[in-house]
Structure 1
């Protein structure tokens, strides 16, 4: 939501088939209905963000070898942790 409006090409890889990450998988539906998540993620995807669902990153070395300009790892952890990469 920050980079795409500035003209950057953004690609999101997610092990889940649908966009939303932790908010989709961890917040109960009675607190945050799926329709709201779909609407919010839709705003981001309509900015031109390339979402690749159902893709699990098994190797950071392989990902980095693909020559991305930058990589952000959002692990979905509730607290920060050192990934030792």
Structure 2
């Protein structure tokens, strides 16, 4: 490579940069939310095969990073529905 060539990455700088330094459980939860529009915490635990406590921790980290949005479920107000915002 000469000194005039630049190195470029194919991956654009986007919201995934905020996820890059998070724990593996948070990355897995983010990827599952990327494939599914919205899921509850229990659905995320089922999809990822992670314990509910680990899913809760991952969701908190993702919310702190600003890449996950949560709202109350219309069908069951006791549950929250999570979606990826990136």
> What TM-score, normalized by structure 1, do the two folds share?
0.31
User: With CA pairs under 8 Å and 6+ residues apart, which has the higher RCO, 1 or 2?
Assistant: 1
Larger radius of gyration: 2
Q: Which has the higher strand share?
A: 2
